[in-house]
Chains A and B, each alone.
Chain A
Amino acid sequence: MSDLVGAKRYEKGRTLGEGTYGTVFEATDKVTGRIVAIKKIRLGKYKEGVNVTALREIKLLKELHDPHVIELIDVYPKKKNLNLVFEFMTSDLEGVIKDRSTVLSPADIKSYMQMALKAIAFCHRKWVLHRDLKPNNFLIATDGQMKLADFGLARIFGSPDRVFTHQVFARWYRAPELLFGSKQYGPGVDIWALACIFAELILRRPFLLGESDMDQLGKIFAAFGTPTEAVWPGMTSLPDYIEFVPCPPTTLRQLFPNVSEDCLDILQKMFTYDPRKRISAEAALSHRYFSTGPAPTKPDRLPRPPIRASGDNDAQDRSPVVLSPAHKSRRISFPNLDTNPQSDGGQPSTGVRRAATGGRPGGPGFDPMSISDEKGRPMLNSVDKSYLRKRKLMMDLALQESEDA
């Protein structure tokens, strides 16, 4: 090893996009020759030092090492900026879901869900709640492996009685207990969000599109029926509980007409109202959904999602209609990794995928499933964030006495 440390270790490349707290650019690691993504964090205009969100991410990713969690390769300061070096990922799950030229077979969906659950099971084993699961936080590597990223809202949840803020997750992925203002929640919140992502993979559009927190609850109840104290003991005593006009449940079968019985069963268990009865990530992984056919697609055989263009989310919508399966044409972008482009031929699910593609009108705008993409996904906005901070300070003060006593 020489003096190739810090900024000198990386050969800076093109800009990949603007993150929530800084620019992300591509670079080459001169030591390993590996392509990496570097997230440059501006140090908050020099008033509060290192951004808390960034610090949380550094803190947790330095400890979490798993094939399904994004690897934080290095961190170095440069000119009052903090640079986080991550492994390079070509795409994300949102790209997969939104790309209309990609068809997802039941085996593909199973593969994505298995990877997602493995990531979360690992985090929960390490007592970390992610608290911001959504499709664009699951990144996809060149070899098809999906990895969990963005731990800016994540927390260690060791102490059972610790009070947390409920203002976490993008709204569509928020569990009902959070919407009712629960502050003593656990890993169940991540499972609910995963269930929403599961549904999104099946439907190819966001599943529960609430426009406000209240509306989000309404959407949840419209889908699964209004819960009662009997199915969810303790619900009525949650801080922000309000009574909804009872609404009968639609059966899951109506919502997901084309999935297998096992798939419905696991969805049902993940969408359980009572967080204590909701299935854990570990238990979900051993659910029979994953052991019965079709077997999950091998990650390197998953349909290739579109490669994220530099800060341009609409790129895939404007691309010309791809006649051959999307993953083949896109593989060309990585010629050195593309050792066996024909390997998909023998894959059992390909037939299904092709057939379904054939049935499409072809143009992106015609997909009847994608009605709401234009709306954009709700993110934690600045109001939420400042609320979060405020609440946290208050809670810490309140807790301090009890904890220090």
Chain B
Amino acid sequence: MTKRNDLDFLSEPRRQSSVAIFLILLKSFRVILGQAWPIFIALIFNPTKSKDTYFALAIIGITAASAIRSIILYFKFYYYVKDDELIIEKGIFQKTKLNVPFDRIQTINFKENILHQFFNVVSLEIDTAGSKGNEFSITALKKDKAIAIREFLLAQKKSSTPTSFSEEEMEEEIEIPEEELLHLSPMDLVKIGVSQNHLRTAAIVFAFMFTSMDYIETLTGWKLENGIDNLLGSNSNTLLIGLITIVPTFIIIAFLISLVRTVIRYYNLRFIKTSMGFKVIAGLFTRNEQSASMQKIQLIRWTTNPIKKVFSLFDISLRQAASSAIARKQSIYVPGCFEEQLFAVRAAYFPEESQLSFEEHVIHPLVIYRRVLYFGFLPAGIFLLNRYWDGATGDYFWAIIWVVIVLLFSWIYQRNFKYFVSDEGIRISTSIVGRTETLLKWFKIQGVEIQQGIYQRRKNLCNLVFHTAAGTVKIPYIELEKAKKMENFVLYKIENSEEPWM
């Protein structure tokens, strides 16, 4: 406990590092820019310049107000420790006092972007689980101070939670060295970038262009739609040619975007097994460090897709207990790793997995008909009805094609949906194009739900849903008898488990 004296500073209210003023200011600029970028675009390109002075004044005003606000926010922000709680006081008009009891702290993360690195500060983020979704962050702290605080909090947390370990065992545990499971080379990064889901990125790019087009048009007075119409022509033949040229363009753009994004986010990624759990450090400009203790990890999920398969890559996410709003941040995500690392993670989460026998089950084929009805016939019917009202006929071809595609995918979905049940947990494998597998231990579950629609009631089928602190896992169209048996068993397992599950 030599650290004790260094940490006396925590007992009285403290301000963060003065760099925070600058960082808060930058953050508010980023928020303003994010909200109002179309206005700025309009400002730059607006053909009518009459309102320029007003806009200039407005910008100066906003800048000054933000600067003053940042300074006041800095002076009104305090953190200190009192009675086993970390306390943060902040706010200008609406004062808030946040109390974080040590034993509620789930994870403590550091975040540093280029500016943080330049000033040698880090931003400290503390997450507590619970439905109310509390998250606390201190914008800027000197790095050594932040490390001291983290060690102090973790030590306090350990001593306040009852564990069966004796003092010596604990120390022994801490001494286990960190083991680097994976260090991504630039070549690996390129592989990962190549194997991202480009169709999804393309869709996002497309949607973004589409929605912002309207915005830009009204603000600048440009006629983008006319331009595109001219480009494509109204003739349906050129429309087809247009589609043929535009779709690959979007995919190429998406490909480049995901490549760059992968490199920026996952540059120099290190996946480390610590004494408590796992840690991922990555990033080109912003070094992100995420760590999770094994106990907090609720379920693990890994996916692969045809391109990933070529490189024998998987991505893994280790889902931690968190409220849904911050759940994404709370799951450790490794965008690419090999079978070796996957097995290490599976063995850490579910050590008995390799010894237990798993029973294979499939879901009921009726799921195909339902999916075709909801995703196939229903949209096709609406489409045809809509065309009919427009007075156009002869679009049956597209509707039929759509239904056939949905039928095919639903059939593949049903055929490939498998779940493997054991005494201690379940593994679910789904696949249409790629494959996603989920591993869940029974005692991590905190609620079991049986859902039945009218049709399912008639056919004695149901959806079985397992709720965990890190999201839900659903098995659709399973026989009611089987589901009830599983529910009974799972409830029995949870209610007889004394292991802390988070």
Does B associate with A? no
